[in-house]
Amino acid sequence: MIGSNLFVAIAGVMVIAGHNFSLFLKFKGGKGVATALGVFLALAPTAVFPALAIFIIMLLIFRFVSLGSISAAATFPLFTYFLGYPNEIIMGAIFGSLLIIIAHRSNIKRLVQGQENKCSFSRKKREKEI
């Protein structure tokens, strides 16, 4: 069983890494959040829901999607640990989450500088912007 957990964790991390640093896009890619959600649902489904709650809470309070994504990624390994997942899965969660946080370097810089874009929940405001 240990071998299969290790294989699944490594495969999951590689999927996220492949999305974030695609060979076909000269090692550029996305932030890995949606990809990681799929991987994390496969690795540790019950740990995804509290991390998703963290994402939603941060989004509603601060209105930064990037801050919600980073917060959810940072807390996901903790949830895997406290929910009793095997060590291989916890390590996969740690490395997968680090990949997400690394991909958000520019967002973190903008958050610190106060230049990150907030999301708008108001339909009228969105219509006005168009």
* Sequence spans of domains, the chain: 2-129
Burial 55-90 (b: 16+ CB within 10 A, else e): beebbeebebbbbbbbbbbebbbbbbbeeebbebbb
> How confident is the prediction along the chain (130 residues), in pLDDT tens digits per residue?
557 999 999 999 999 999 999 989 888 889 999 999 999 999 999 999 999 999 999 999 999 999 999 999 999 999 999 999 999 999 999 999 999 999 999 999 999 999 999 998 766 555 555 5
Q: What's the gap between Cα 64 and its chain centre?
A: 14
Q: pTM above 0.85?
A: yes
